Amino acid sequence: MKLVLIGSGNVAKTLAVLFKNAGHELLQVYGRDENKASDFCEMLGIPYTTHWQQINPDAVLYIIAISDSALPEMGRYLSLPGKLVVHTAGTVSKEVLSGISDRYGVLYPLQSLRGSAPVTAQFPFLINASNPPDIELLINLVSSVGADFQIVDDEQRARMHLAAVWVNNFPNLFYRIAYNLCEENKTEFKLLLPLISETALRMDGTDPAKWQTGPASRGDVGTIKAHLDMMKNHPHWQQIYSILSEEIKKGS
Amino acid sequence: MKLVLIGSGNVAKTLAVLFKNAGHELLQVYGRDENKASDFCEMLGIPYTTHWQQINPDAVLYIIAISDSALPEMGRYLSLPGKLVVHTAGTVSKEVLSGISDRYGVLYPLQSLRGSAPVTAQFPFLINASNPPDIELLINLVSSVGADFQIVDDEQRARMHLAAVWVNNFPNLFYRIAYNLCEENKTEFKLLLPLISETALRMDGTDPAKWQTGPASRGDVGTIKAHLDMMKNHPHWQQIYSILSEEIKKGS
C-alpha cells in the first residue's frame, strides 16, 4: 500500500519501520523538523519533505502522526480531497480531519512509543473511518503487519486511552517510587526487575483480580502499619499507599 | 547440598523445584497438609512427612517456608541445635528463629510466587545469617541456581518488601481497574497486554523517571479532565487518578 506519513516523532518513526518492513511503499514523510525527519528517513530510504506544498499526492493513505494539539490546525495546511486521511491520537475525535478530506479515520497504536523502538515487536491498533469501505482498508493494513485490532468509536478509544494511563503511567510512577525507596535503602532496584516482569507477563487477558496478593488483600494490618511507618518521611506516598490498600480491601 | 523444606505452599513448592533441578538433595519436605505435600513431593520424588518428630536430622540447611504469622511458634515444634535454619519471609526478623538453633538466617525470594510457577525462571534472593560463615553457605546455594542476591539486614529486607508492594500489588490493582474499564467499554482488555509488557520490560535498573509519559507528565489538563469525566461513576478511581496525576506532576 502506498503511504505518506505526516510527522517525524516517535509514533511516525515506529510506524515507518513497521510498515516499511512489511513491504508497504512509503512514498514520503513530511516533517517540520528536517533533522528529525532525515534521521530515520535516510536510514530507511524514504524520501522526506519539510514543505506542505510538496506532499506527494499519489498515496492511498495519509497517516498524520503529530501532537494532539496540532491536529485541529491541519485543515489550514493540508487538503487531500478523495484521499483517506487518518490520525494516530488516543483522545481526539476523528472529525478533526473532516476539513482535509471526506474520507477520514483513526489508526491509533495502543502502545507507549516514547524513546527507542518498543520491546514488544507487536502492538494492537484501534481503528475507525468515516466510510465503511475505508475500515476494510485499515484492517488490511494492520493485518499485513500481523497486528491485533479492534474497531472502536471515539468514546471507546478515549476510554482505552484512559485504561492505558492506568496500566502504563501509574505503574511507571510506582517503579519510580520503588527506585527511590531502594536508593534510600541502599538496596539494588535491579533486584526488583524479575518481580516487575512477572507481574506484567502473567496477565493473560482474563480478570487480574485472581493475581492480587500482598498485605492489603490478606488484611495484614500489622504489615500495612509497618510499611506506613517506613515512609514517615514521604507523606504523599503514605497517603497513596493507604488509599490503594483500602481499594484492594474493597475488592475493586 | 542436603536440604529439608518445612512447608508445602507455593514458596516451598517453587524452592523445591528450583533446588532439585540444580542438583541439590532434598532429603524431605514437612507439610501440615498431607495432600499439599504429596502433591508436588511425589512428582519430584522427594520424601515427605506430616510429623514434626520425623524431621530428617541429616540436612545441612533447613528452610522454613510457612506463613509469617506461624513463624514465632516454630520454636515449640522444632529444635535443631547446630543446624542452619532459615525462613523465607519478607518482613519477619531473622531472630524469630533463634529458639530453634544458634545458626539462623533468611533466604527471602524477591518474587510473587502465588499460583503456578513464575513466568521468569530466575528471581533474586535477599539473604542473611546470624553467623558470617553461614552467609557464605547461603551465597553458594543461591549461586548454584544462577540467582542474583543481596545480603541485607532485617530493615533493608522489610523495605524491599515494601518496594515489592509498589511494583506488584498496586500495578495489579490498576490492571484490575483497566480490566473493569474495558468490560464497561466493550473493548478487549487483551489489547492492553503489549502495553503492560512494554511498560515492565523496558525497566533496566536505572531511574524509571525517564519513561514517565501521559497527560499528567506533559501537563495536559484537558485530557486529565476528560479522563475524570469518564470515571464519574467511580469516585474512588477519580480520587486515585487525581492524586497520582498530582504526584507525577510534582516529579516524585
Are A143 and A162 members of one domain? Answer: no
The residue among A83, A158, A166, A84 whose CA lies nearest residue A126 is: A158
Are B96 and B211 members of one domain? Answer: no
A228 phi, psi to nearest 5 deg: -65, -40
B113 phi, psi to nearest 5 deg: -110, 25
The residue among A215, A248, A225, A175 whose CA lies nearest residue B90 is: A215
The answer to whether residue B221 neighbours chain A at the CB level (below 8 Å) is no
Are B114 and B169 members of one domain? Answer: no
CB B1 within 8 A of CB B25: yes
Tell me the CATH number at A63: 3.40.50.720
Say yes or no for a CB contact (<8 Å) between A167 and B248.
Answer: no
CA B9/CA B12 separation, integer angstroms: 5
Region B200-221 average pLDDT:
94
Does residue A252 have a pLDDT over 60?
A: no
CA B214 to chain A, closest CA, distance in angstroms equals 6
Region A120-128 average pLDDT:
87
> pLDDT digits over B185-199, tens only?
999 999 999 999 999
Residue A162: the pLDDT is: 98
A157 phi, psi to nearest 5 deg: -65, -40
Are B162 and B115 members of one domain? Answer: no
The answer to whether residue B174 neighbours chain A at the CB level (below 8 Å) is yes
Are B53 and B129 members of one domain? Answer: yes
Are B148 and B26 members of one domain? Answer: yes
∠ CA B74-B77-B78, nearest 5°, is: 75
Say yes or no for a CB contact (<8 Å) between B197 and A200.
Answer: yes
The answer to whether residue A110 neighbours chain B at the CB level (below 8 Å) is yes
Region A149-168 average pLDDT:
98
The answer to whether residue A236 neighbours chain B at the CB level (below 8 Å) is yes
Question: Residue A85 belongs to what domain range?
Answer: 2-152
Does residue A115 have a pLDDT over 70?
A: no
Are B110 and B222 members of one domain? Answer: no
> pLDDT digits over B27-68, tens only?
999 999 999 999 999 999 999 999 999 999 999 999 999 999
Cβ-based neighbour number of residue A121 at 10 Å: 12
Are A162 and A144 members of one domain? Answer: no
Out of A124, A152, A180, a domain closes at A152
Residue B115: the pLDDT is: 58
CA B166/CA B161 separation, integer angstroms: 9
Out of B124, B152, B180, a domain closes at B152
Q: How many CB pairs below 8 A link A and B?
A: 317
Tell me the CATH number at A245: 1.10.1040.20
Neighbouring C-alpha atoms within 13 Å toward the C-beta of A87 = 25
> pLDDT digits over A21-34, tens only?
999 999 999 999 99
Domains of chain B: total = 2
Out of B92, B122, B152, a domain closes at B152
Task: Provide the phi-psi class of A220: left if phi over 0, else alpha when psi is between -120 and 50, else beta.
Answer: beta
